[in-house]
Amino acid sequence: MGMKLIAALCLALGLAWIWGRFLRFIKLDQKIRIGIGMPLGEEAIKFSLALAFDYQPLLVYLLFGFGEGLLESFLLKKPEALKLILAGGLTHFGFGVFFLFPVPPVLSFGLAIILHFLWNNLLLKNKAI
């Protein structure tokens, strides 16, 4: 893995963490913060950095997911760390799967946001978050 890719991944994870803290700081309701704010922010961060660093968005999405799972397993001190890491990678890969199809990247980006909205709201509805 090249240094440029590692830099993009670290920047994406750092910006997403800062975005999450910002949404908490402004005291958004959990349903708004997790159901709308986080998907919009994370998708914008991943897509923008993929463009800025000239990487296929799906690669950034997949690695971001693995990084997010690793970060959450570390921060939450969960013994099932591998499950969190895999779940994070596969979930974010799913958000970015539309980038595999021959459609405009902006459409894939919009579909990734919608899928992320649906996923986070499903987790909220089932009290998984």
Length of the chain as a residue count: 129
CB-based contact 13:67 (threshold 8 Å): yes
Q: For the whole model, what pTM was predicted?
A: 0.84
% of the chain with per-residue pLDDT over 90 = 47
Please tell me the total count of domains within the chain.
1
Tokens of 30: 């959990």
Q: What range does the domain containing 93 cover?
A: 3-125
What pLDDT, in 10s, does the model give residues 59-91?
998 888 888 877 777 777 766 666 666 777 778
